[in-house]
Structure 1
């Protein structure tokens, strides 16, 4: 009898896997192809802006055009990543397909005119909207729609950064803080892998990062040992990365709330935001903090790549990028937060290394993934990202930095629709399934003290 039951169980598992493989393939094909187009356009407009720096003066006008695009044609698409997270928790009207072309075009416009933004948010929204459209065509039920939306997130993230394993785990981990839904594990993994392959088949090449530092953690007898001085620097860095995540999230939410409250004409919000970015650019005297910030043709500019070298960033470069990005995204421009978070973290890691004497490339890499881990509450995915991008030799330090940053970022994050599964303060499960980071923040501000979970 047990053998018969086991046989039926494995047949059911096989059917389940075949079903989701077939459903996931079109999501990955479409998402990978559209993201390839997006990355190609992003590269082209970035080069155009480098060659024509006067385009920055049109950023306020571009902001108005972006506002009008969403006002007349966006509807629910304006909610962006938070809409996708909400739909995964409680499927309702779905994610509108118009989200994909809208966010793609407006993100390209943001970068063309110098807005400080990233690409992850755009990729996730492209993947989510494509997945939702396919789900509607297949007439999937709510349970399957949740899984399909998660595969869209995985496909978008895996393809845009060339990190398929990270993309799969990110899609599982980002939905609820402290909790992972393993039911979508294989579909997300398939979607992320295939979307990455498709994107690369279109000729897209991702930036290569290198950490030359190699720490030998075991001796010739296989005994584990640790460089305790370096460990102290990594822990200190992790704390600072978490606090930087907290600062970015809180500043972004604050700017958005105050601009919505005090600027009556909403089209003026991105217009004023563009003027502020122009003013800040001339205040700091460099264009280092515009656009993605991955690299820069100016050898004296600060970029993510320069942060991996001694003297490649100033002590406050991380803060300037944080401020530029918070203003850009909170005042109506489009794009993701993650690549700017990479910049913020790498620059902060560079500063920590210069102060502590730790290896610069290692600390820049730890900041790169650590600030991202704290801001998105995805420490496991970010640890894996470190391995995929930098190699596995320093995986223990990756984990220490990401886990520490995760805790010190507090109960906040760039995705206000994230639910709190487990409190960072206690080991207890949060019973209120509707307890979002947005609700936590409102309660904290209302009570003028930390909200108790």
Structure 2
């Protein structure tokens, strides 16, 4: 009888795997395809802005367009990632199908006219919107709807960055601080892998990053220590700085949004004011390199994520802070896009600066900042450690983990997602 029960359990597992593969397949195919279209349009918009820099001066007007697009057709879709997370926590009105085209269009508008924003938020909303639509069409239960929405998050994230394992774990980890929903583990992994495959099949490629630093043990006289302890100490100190940067960004963005809504009584003037502030910040900073994604700049030696991985270029001690302010203003004042790629920029630039100050490898510390500031701002240290492995290889996984976990603790209980729940506190 016991053996029969075990066999029955395995058959149930096989059935669930097959069922969820079939449910996730359309989510992954559609999300991967829409993310591919989004990334293609984003690249075209970025190069068009580089060729026609006067487009920046239309940023305030583009903010009005974005406001009215959501006012006329968006309704609750404007809540973005937070709406998806709320629906997973407590199913209610559902995630509207119009969220996907709205966020895709408005994010492209934001980047075309010079807003400083990312792309993960758009990809996640695309995945969540598709999952929500499919759930309604199939009449799924509340429990199954939660899981399917999580697969939408995983599909969007995995496809937009080319990191499927990270996408799966991110979908499990981001919903609540201190817990992960393992009942969605396999569906999220299937969704992230398939969406990444589909996105790549459309010819989309992702930026490649390299860490040339190989590392060495502290002393040959202590053969059982395989880690440079002095370097590890520097990584811990950098992790503290990365966590505090995450905290600063989250609080500044939320503060700007709160004050803008409190003191600017005419709603459509909020993005107008934000656009004017971005234009002014460009002249104060003396460069336009802080606009857009920041993965690369118009000038090959300009301030960008790619150039943060090497010495030289124009990365300076305050590049990370400039990008932080540009992005907090852009997103806090009503423009659309994600926060994650700008967080990569802040972290890589800060890591570059800290490496020069502490005499550490620049490429390694840029990579650590890249993932650790993201870990602190989203409270997802495990996903971000895995992202380090997927993007940079597994050689320095110990440093990745130490930096991400340290940043996670020092970012406190704040984060960029207001609907993220606190279940297990980071400390008593």
Shared fold (TM-score, shorter chain, > 0.5): yes
8 A Cα contact 2:388 2:400, kept in partner:
yes
8 A Cα contact 1:286 1:301, kept in partner:
no
For 1:152-167, what aligned pairs fall within 5 Å after superposition? 152-167=152-167
Where in structure 1 are there 5+ consecutive unaligned residues?
427-453
Supply the distance in 2 between the matched residues of 1:211 and 1:263 (Cα, whole angstroms): 46
**1:2 and 2:2 matched:** yes
Kindly state the Cα deviation for residue 300 of structure 1 after the two structures are TM-superposed: 3.9
Q: Report SS of the residue matched to 2:305.
A: coil
Supply the distance in 1 between the matched residues of 2:95 and 2:300 (Cα, whole angstroms): 43
Supply the distance in 2 between the matched residues of 1:373 and 1:69 (Cα, whole angstroms): 32
**What TM-score do you get using the length of structure 2 for normalisation?**
0.98
For 1:26-425, what aligned pairs fall within 5 Å after superposition? 26-216=26-216, 223-312=224-313, 313-425=315-427
Kindly state the Cα deviation for residue 217 of structure 1 after the two structures are TM-superposed: 5.4
- What whole-Å deviation, never above 9, does each CA across 1:171-216 have from its counterpart, x for those lacking one? 0000111111100000000000000000000000000001111124
8 A Cα contact 1:348 1:367, kept in partner:
yes
Supply the distance in 2 between the matched residues of 1:363 and 1:109 (Cα, whole angstroms): 33
- What whole-Å deviation, never above 9, does each CA across 1:55-100 have from its counterpart, x for those lacking one? 0000000000000000111011010000001000001111000000
Kindly state the Cα deviation for residue 222 of structure 1 after the two structures are TM-superposed: 7.6
8 A Cα contact 1:157 1:192, kept in partner:
yes
Supply the distance in 2 between the matched residues of 1:29 and 1:221 (Cα, whole angstroms): 52
Kindly state the Cα deviation for residue 314 of structure 1 after the two structures are TM-superposed: 0.3
Supply the distance in 2 between the matched residues of 1:103 and 1:66 (Cα, whole angstroms): 9
Q: Report SS of the residue matched to 1:389.
A: helix
- What whole-Å deviation, never above 9, does each CA across 1:381-412 have from its counterpart, x for those lacking one? 00000000000000000000000000000010
Q: Report SS of the residue matched to 1:208.
A: coil
Q: Which one is further off, 220-229 or 240-249?
A: 220-229
CA-based RMSD: 1.3
8 A Cα contact 2:216 2:228, kept in partner:
no
Kindly state the Cα deviation for residue 297 of structure 1 after the two structures are TM-superposed: 2.4
Distance change (3 Å), C-alpha of 1:260 and 1:217: same
Kindly state the Cα deviation for residue 11 of structure 1 after the two structures are TM-superposed: 1.0
Kindly state the Cα deviation for residue 220 of structure 1 after the two structures are TM-superposed: 12
Q: Report SS of the residue matched to 2:31.
A: helix
Q: Report SS of the residue matched to 2:34.
A: helix
Supply the distance in 1 between the matched residues of 2:51 and 2:233 (Cα, whole angstroms): 44
Kindly state the Cα deviation for residue 425 of structure 1 after the two structures are TM-superposed: 1.2
Q: 1:446 is matched with which residue?
A: none
Supply the distance in 2 between the matched residues of 1:299 and 1:33 (Cα, whole angstroms): 30
Supply the distance in 1 between the matched residues of 2:138 and 2:66 (Cα, whole angstroms): 32
Q: Report SS of the residue matched to 1:231.
A: helix
8 A Cα contact 2:301 2:307, kept in partner:
no
Supply the distance in 2 between the matched residues of 1:103 and 1:225 (Cα, whole angstroms): 47
8 A Cα contact 1:39 1:160, kept in partner:
yes
Kindly state the Cα deviation for residue 229 of structure 1 after the two structures are TM-superposed: 1.5
Supply the distance in 1 between the matched residues of 2:235 and 2:269 (Cα, whole angstroms): 43
Kindly state the Cα deviation for residue 226 of structure 1 after the two structures are TM-superposed: 2.1
- What whole-Å deviation, never above 9, does each CA across 1:82-133 have from its counterpart, x for those lacking one? 0001000001111000000000000000000000000000000000000000
Q: Report SS of the residue matched to 1:327.
A: helix
**What TM-score do you get using the length of structure 1 for normalisation?**
0.93
8 A Cα contact 1:77 1:96, kept in partner:
yes
